[in-house]
Amino acid sequence: MRVRYPAALTFCAAAVLSAFADQTATLDHIQKLELAGDSAGAREAFQRALKTSPEDAELLGGYAALLERYRNPGAREEYRRAAVRWQATGQSQKAQAEARRAILLDLIDGDRDAARKDLAAYREYGGTGVTIPAPAAAAERPSEVVYIPGPMRSFARMAAISPDADPATVLPALARNVVTNGYQASRSNDELEETEYLKLVHRYVSQAWELDQLAGPDKVIKVPACESTQTNDLLRVLGYRMRGGCGSEVVLETVNASRAFLTTDSGFPLAELEQALRTDKPFSYDYHPTAVPVLYSAAYWVGAKEKNSFLDAFLGDPALCRFYLGMSKLDPETAAAMKQHTPALKLRSYASVLDFFGGNFEIRDGKAVIPGGERSAAMWGELVGVSPDKGADFFEKLLIRDDGWLASLYDALSRIQGPVQDYLTQPAHMKRFYEAVRGKITTPGPARPVFRSNADMMLLTTRLRLEPDGKPHIPGGLDVWKQVFIHNPHNRYDQKLSKAAPGWKDGDDVIEALFALCRKPVDNEPLKMFMALSDIDRNREKPLEPATVERLTSVWNTYSAQYTMFNDAPGVSDKTILAWLDAAENLDRIKDNLLRQDAIGEMQGLTGLWQIFCRQGSIPAANADQALASLVAPFATLKSNRELFDAGRSGLNLLATSAGAASGPMQDRMLNLIAGGAHLQPSDARSSLIEQEQRIFEAQKLLTPDLIFELADNLERVSKGEKLNAKLAARMAARVTDIQLPRNSMSGTEKNSMAFGFWVDKHIEEERKVNFRALIDKAGKDPEKLKDIRGLLAPSLRDTIVGYNYLHYAPPGAEILITNPLFVRGHDFIGMSGANHSWRNTELYGSGWPSNAGGRLVGSLAGLPYALAEAEQNFLVPTQTQALIWGDLVPQMLLTATAPRFWSVAPEQVHWVGMHMRNGESLLAEASVDEAARSKVFAAINRAASPYRASAVISDLKTGDVKQALDQLTPSELYSISISLAPTDDCPIAKEIDRYRKAAPSLVSDEAISRTWGTPKPTLANSYAPELLNLRTFPTLMGYSSRIMAESWESNQLYWADLADETGVRPEELNVLVPQWTEKVVERIFASHLEDWPALLKSLRSVGDDVRNSAGKPDSTERAGSEE
Amino acid sequence: MRGMRRISLQFCLRALGGTALVLSLGAGIWLYAQEASTPVFKSKVDLVVLSFTVTDNKGKYVNGLKPGDFKVYEDGIPEKLSTFSEGDRPAMQILEDGSMRPLLPTAPEAMRVAAKSSESNDAFVGTNVFILFDTSNFMYRGFVYAEDAIADFVRGLDKADSVAVYTFSRNLSRASTLTSDRSNAIVGLRKAVAGDDTALYNGLLLTLRDAAKVPGRKVVIVFSNGPDNASMVAPDDVRAVAEDEGIPIYVISTNDVNKDPISSSVFRRISQRTGGKAYWAKTWQKQVEAFESIREDLGNSYTVTYYPAPNPNEGFRRIDIQIVSDTGKHYRVRSRPGYRPRAF
């Protein structure tokens, strides 16, 4: 209704002003709710406001943007409504902006039809510059296929390929399996012979062709009735026969074991066939062959003559498989150029180099894209022998140059960016470092083994640190490293380097030496030292003193595994580090093995707890140094059990006090601290974690410190004439004597075969036989002897302290800790006789009965999180038969879920990740519809992903397949794309990101987000502190298998943060949910090979979908309903 | 012979309309409310379920015994029996005067079982049989024959029984979860995939954990040739779980008894200590016979339940079953020797 009168106009203006003020207040209120993490409250506030003002375009647009930020599917509709309202009020630019958002969201959701309609509306509002690209024409897609007999799932089972693998990935996956698992050295000669795996694949294919024949031209296996010739024919091929005549008693039983095995192992529906025969019903089974795309054409690989028997030729030729595998990693443009330039036979000769290092080859417009760009082009040309301008020729020469050394350098340098890449690709550096790594004799090259052997070079180039002046950071300075190489312990390093070391002039010389050692197939000790010490320096305000570095390198062999401790608390002083080393060396001098292992265990247990409390912020950074110094001080002079007990007791008190838990029973204080902090707010998550801790503590039959201390105090008083508290002693004895040693019930053969540590056995036996009454009687009235008795409590206190570490890192399920009551007590700090494991990384000892003696960990506590996860991984139950679970990937995933805690995560930090994910999606959609936006986004994609995948993503964007493009990117890549691009003004999410940046700068800084949503990288970064390094996912590497790949996989935490944001999960709930979600992810992985991280991504998304479904998406129609 | 399981029950009696007895926690028996008119109270009670077989001096099963024919002791303390059943017959509640009456069929646990299966509507009728089939590399050669033998066994189970087929190599796979539909179980069995390392005791532990969640009687049958090269738990820790949960373990080894003495002694130990049996059956025929023997055992066992009398022992409690009659002195009772009360 229009108001025409002045009075009314005044009223109207006042009303508008008032409405405007109301609206502003509403929006402010909503923003505050959202900032505080109350997205549901913000949504409800919008809904209430829209009930009052349903036509308010500003509110509608704001509501749409809110829904978009939380991935609510109703956002599109709200944008459309807002656009209509803006247009109705004559503000067409705003209408265009809203309609444009709707188009982007349509494409993100893969709804091309809706996008077309919204585009029409957008144009109707006067919008320009947006076009929805035409979908990929059929001709652009690979047309040639090869046929595999029978259904894909059967072949996949036999060939160990995920049955839901994309058809285009089947042949590369098969090729990889043939290369890595298909052949072995013959026992009789130098020839390769087929493994059982490949023999079975061959036999299966042969049986499948027979069934294909039976299936006839319709490709359906049909058995019309039990008594039919088809029945006999089919059963003969399957290797079964009928027992009993046709009818309800018929049973299928094996007659030809070899055929029957293939039948059942390939998943032929035998039970269904049997059921059909029993009921005399027809049986039919679709046996159409499976068409899988082949790169280029079958003839390219096997020649025109053999192209009809491609599969047989493929399976029978590992070199061909490797060639196929290598070519499948190239992006189409690069592959096309190389194929055209280099004959297939020649490429095939260098298939191993192509396979390992070709993935980063990139030809654009005929030129090679090279690390270092223009500045390094001439040097690349000199090293390769061909200018990068001649792309295909350049890469051909790179392949054949030197057994793969230069290609491996190219690969390593392609994976990094920024100042380190600049430094390493300076022409002079590049030449020096290449010559160092190549050496004089190039054979064997880094592509020779089944796994890449240039792991150390990749670590060096990835983790090298530069000083602000662009020079490499050399921990402790040049002289320390000269000494390291000159000293050359046991001649483990290169003699030539030792001779050259005295003449070194600067850091470049050290880096050159490290490159030179990267070519050695042996343990690269100096590189590991260099990386570990660089990592310690990385977060310190003041780098380590040369003397400290010298000491740390001199005792590297013994104590290096412990250095992560100093990395997790960068405030530790040089003095304290040296004091720690002094204490450790003092313990090593203890002759009594029992006392020594208890003392080492207790000190490691205490410092392990200190490390945990520092990492989670319970011990403030400012107190960390003092706390550690005080903790280790008693161990520097420790000589007796009594002193050990006192050190343990004072240590626990010190830790609790330093971490802000000054009062209450020690057991409660420690359980709280281990769960995440002294003063956690009561919550279901907190209760759940503490209950789990208590359950494990009980299962391990550990003694609470309070009980131990009470008894110790009582013993102290006994020395002054008081009586022993018999009840207390009996309580303790009852707990300890209940523990059964594993040997008790075993047969003689088992006892002889088992490998339970001798000193572990002694440790437990000593605990069991303590009899305080007898000891007090024996001590008579000698007060010193009476005081010494409390030292006998030291082994139990050690177990409790070590047990607290186990509790903190307990993996989801914790089956071993719940089932094996000796797991904590059985921790072997000494190891096998003759090999001192006390300070080495934690190892899982053996596997299988009786060699593992029921499972135990050996070594120090340094690698406890990984070892516990490793021990637990076989208790996970894959949801699909034959699913591959990585031996090295799963433990890292589990520890990533358990070591970081989320108690201090702010809602802003959760939403920050969610917004960046939405922003990343939006940027990609923009790049798809707006050519002007493309170049920057494409460059960001190229930085984040390998050329092959970047090219696939870009290709999808060019055809408007935004959803498909997004599916190919990992969460960490999407996040990194969003972070790397400056926000655009017209994007509401970018504006919101900006608002958060201003409202909570300290919470959403790169450093804070890295700490909050990063992953622990004990191998790659020598630290358990979570960190985001924005790395490209590594391949499997010789010496590390998938462990580094798993550490470089940074997507899980970011994905969980995004999911929590979307589903309204509170940060503290993540402490319980992330381990549960991760367990499910692992159980659902169905990978085809060790580098199949897309299978991991698929599993991650599948769990995310379940969480979304069970959470129930907030429904935007709530408002629409209320309107109606 | 069956084992015994201990169940935590939480009774919550409410005086609502004169009848209310609510049973909580995972597994239990629904008893007639004898104190229906009493005011609201809560108490936590541990119910022990004990299965056993009785054989005469010739090794033949002795059937037809009544509750009054047994005395059950825990650490020498006599126990008052609550329910009794023989073979696959429904469980009966033992009243104060020693007479028996059927268990209330509308108990939630019984209904839960009924919902799962159309054939079995009583949680304590029939046995829940968990078959754990070794599909690791060690079983490669006999894999298909083993499948045939297991399929035969599944087909021949009593109608009242439910069966689950699990397979294991390095990890466990739930090929077919507990079902009374034999064909479902066989479909699951036939989908098993061979290969990989052998983590027998890991797999057995997880199977026991699953079985422990199911109400009623249950047994685990392990079909393996013995060696274990990937487990992280010791057989005796797993055996302790079975003992405490009252789940007998039957083992059919496809190896010669003397060929792998370590596995043989473990198999013997874990089956004896849990109230099960071990068989060495290298050939298909022997495997069929072993399964037949297990089936007989299942059909000839007695199952009693009781709430343990006060006992300060928080460690291992020894169970002793005595036959009261004179002839019973010549009988042999096979049961697990005891259990540890649950600590948490």
Per-residue pLDDT tens digits for A473-519: 999 999 999 999 998 776 777 788 889 999 999 999 999 999 999 98
Q: Cis omega (within 30 of 0) on the bond before A850?
A: yes
CB contacts, 8 Å: A821 with chain B: 237
pLDDT digits (tens, 9 = 90+) for A746-766: 777 777 777 777 788 889 888
pLDDT digits (tens, 9 = 90+) for A1019-1044: 999 999 999 998 888 888 877 878 88
Cα distance from A579 to chain B (closest Cα, Å)?
Answer: 37
Tokens 């049996």 found at: B277
> pLDDT at position A790, please?
86
- Find the residue in B nearest to A851 (Cα): B229
Which residues, numbered 325 to 344 in chain B, qualify as contacts with chain A under a Cβ-Cβ cut-off of 8 Å?
Answer: 343-344
Which residues, numbered 17 to 36 in chain B, qualify as contacts with chain A under a Cβ-Cβ cut-off of 8 Å?
Answer: none
Distance CA A382, CA A414 (A): 18
Smallest CA-to-CA distance from A89 within A119, A49, A61 is with A61
Cα distance from A819 to chain B (closest Cα, Å)?
Answer: 6
Distance CA A585, CA A925 (A): 60
Bridge partners (DSSP) of residue B12 are B22, B42
* Confidence band, pLDDT 50/70/90 cuts, at residue A428: very high
**Confidence check: pLDDT of B125 > 80:** no
Nearest to B233 among A267, A750, A816 (CB): A816
Distance CA A201, CA A262 (A): 9
3-state helix vs strand vs coil in chain B, percent to 5: 30, 30, 40
Name the DSSP class of A462: H
- In whole numbers, what is the pLDDT of chain A averaged over residues? 90
**B145–A254 CB contact, under 8 Å:** yes
Through-space distance between the first and last CA atoms of chain B, rounded to whole angstroms: 28
> pLDDT at position B21, please?
26
> pLDDT at position A19, please?
55
CB contacts, 8 Å: A157 with chain B: 193
Query: Is B302 in a helix, a strand, or coil?
Result: strand
Percent of chain B at pLDDT > 70 equals: 79
Best residue in B233, B239, B267 for a mutation probing chain A (most A CBs within 10 Å): B233
Distance CA A221, CA A288 (A): 9
pLDDT digits (tens, 9 = 90+) for B220-230: 999 998 889 99
Mean pLDDT, residues A80-86 taken together: 96
pLDDT digits (tens, 9 = 90+) for A295-334: 999 999 988 777 778 999 999 999 999 999 999 999 999 9
Cα distances from A58 to residues A64, A85, A380, B176, B326, in angstroms, run 10, 9, 56, 56, 94
Name the DSSP class of B313: -
**Confidence check: pLDDT of A1113 > 70:** no
Distance CA A1024, CA A728 (A): 39
**B171–A267 CB contact, under 8 Å:** no
Which amino acid belongs to residue A782?
Answer: D
**Confidence check: pLDDT of A401 > 70:** yes
Nearest to B233 among A157, A746, A820 (CB): A820
**B262–A747 CB contact, under 8 Å:** yes
Distance of alpha carbon A972 from its chain centroid, rounded?
Answer: 11
* Confidence band, pLDDT 50/70/90 cuts, at residue B7: very low
Query: Is A291 in a helix, a strand, or coil?
Result: strand
**A852–B173 CB contact, under 8 Å:** no
Specify whether the CB–CB gap between A674 and A613 falls below 8 A: no
> What stretches of A1023-1094 adopt beta strand conformation (E)?
1023-1027
Helix axes A907-929, A988-999, angle to 10 degrees: 150
**Phi, psi dihedrals of residue A1114, rounded to the nearest 5°:** -60, 135
Q: Largest alpha-carbon pair distance within chain A?
A: 110
Best residue in A153, A200, A753, A819 for a mutation probing chain B (most B CBs within 10 Å): A819
**Confidence check: pLDDT of A35 > 90:** no
> pLDDT at position B29, please?
31
Distance CA A911, CA A1066 (A): 11
Smallest CA-to-CA distance from B246 within B49, B41, B37 is with B49
Query: Is A250 in a helix, a strand, or coil?
Result: coil
**B145–A257 CB contact, under 8 Å:** yes
> pLDDT at position A922, please?
95
> pLDDT at position A335, please?
95
Cα distance from B266 to chain A (closest Cα, Å)?
Answer: 8
User: What is the complex's ipTM, to 2 decimals?
Assistant: 0.90
Smallest CA-to-CA distance from A1064 within A1018, A1020, A1112 is with A1112
Does an H or E element contain A34, and which?
Answer: helix A6-35
Nearest to B194 among A251, A265, A740 (CB): A265
Distance of alpha carbon A827 from its chain centroid, rounded?
Answer: 27
Distance CA A1044, CA A892 (A): 9
pLDDT digits (tens, 9 = 90+) for A917-949: 999 999 999 999 998 888 999 999 999 999 999
Cα distance from A878 to chain B (closest Cα, Å)?
Answer: 6
**Confidence check: pLDDT of B44 > 80:** no
Q: CA-based angle A371:A376:A379, to the nearest 5?
A: 115
How many C-alpha atoms does B332 have within 13 Å on its Cβ side? 10
CB contacts, 8 Å: B266 with chain A: 747, 750, 849
**Confidence check: pLDDT of A523 > 90:** no
Nearest to B152 among A157, A251, A270 (CB): A251
Residues 6+ apart with CB under 8 A from A943: A417, A976, A980
**B186–A239 CB contact, under 8 Å:** no
Give CA torsion, residues A983, A988, A993, A999, to 10 deg.
Answer: 130
Specify whether the CB–CB gap between A865 and A895 falls below 8 A: yes
Distance CA B269, CA B246 (A): 15
Smallest CA-to-CA distance from A512 within A529, A523, A527, A495 is with A527
Sheet with B278-280, strands from edge to edge, namely: B172-179, B162-168, B127-134, B217-224, B249-253, B278-280
> pLDDT at position A86, please?
96
Mean pLDDT, residues B207-217 taken together: 91
Q: Is B283 on the interface with A (CB under 8 A)?
A: no
Distance CA A125, CA A104 (A): 16
**A874–B145 CB contact, under 8 Å:** no
CB contacts, 8 Å: A812 with chain B: none
CB contacts, 8 Å: A698 with chain B: 343-344
Name the DSSP class of A137: P
CB contacts, 8 Å: B225 with chain A: none
**Confidence check: pLDDT of A48 > 50:** yes
Specify whether the CB–CB gap between A551 and A566 falls below 8 A: no
The full DSSP string for A932-970 is: GGHHHHHHHHHHHS-HHHHHHHHHHHHTT-HHHHHHTS-
Nearest to A261 among B143, B209, B344 (CB): B143
* Confidence band, pLDDT 50/70/90 cuts, at residue A445: confident
Smallest CA-to-CA distance from A753 within A643, A852, A856, A862 is with A852
Distance CA A645, CA A382 (A): 67
- For A655, the token pair is 């830790």
**A878–B173 CB contact, under 8 Å:** yes
Which residues, numbered 95 to 154 in chain B, qualify as contacts with chain A under a Cβ-Cβ cut-off of 8 Å?
Answer: 141, 143-145, 147-148, 151-152
- Find the residue in A nearest to B145 (Cα): A254
* Confidence band, pLDDT 50/70/90 cuts, at residue A954: very high
Cα distances from A1008 to residues A418, A1012, A1055, B130, in angstroms, run 21, 6, 17, 50
**B265–A844 CB contact, under 8 Å:** no
CB contacts, 8 Å: B164 with chain A: none
Which residues, numbered 180 to 199 in chain B, qualify as contacts with chain A under a Cβ-Cβ cut-off of 8 Å?
Answer: 183, 186-187, 189-195, 197-199
Distance CA A830, CA A853 (A): 16
**B205–A819 CB contact, under 8 Å:** yes
Specify whether the CB–CB gap between A23 and A58 falls below 8 A: yes
**Phi, psi dihedrals of residue A1113, rounded to the nearest 5°:** -70, 140
Domain covering A24-124 assigned CATH 3.10.20.30 in the classification: no
Which residues, numbered 205 to 234 in chain B, qualify as contacts with chain A under a Cβ-Cβ cut-off of 8 Å?
Answer: 205-206, 209, 227-234
- For B200, the token pair is 């027998």
Q: Is B173 on the interface with A (CB under 8 A)?
A: yes
pLDDT digits (tens, 9 = 90+) for A625-657: 999 999 999 999 999 999 999 999 999 999 999
Best residue in A874, A890, A1079 for a mutation probing chain B (most B CBs within 10 Å): A874
Cα distances from A536 to residues A398, A461, A1006, B328, in angstroms, run 37, 17, 20, 76
Best residue in B167, B168, B232, B237 for a mutation probing chain A (most A CBs within 10 Å): B232
Distance of alpha carbon A684 from its chain centroid, rounded?
Answer: 27
Nearest to B234 among A849, A878, A882 (CB): A849
> pLDDT at position A2, please?
36
What phi-psi label fits residue B75: left (phi over 0), alpha (psi between -120 and 50 degrees) or beta? left
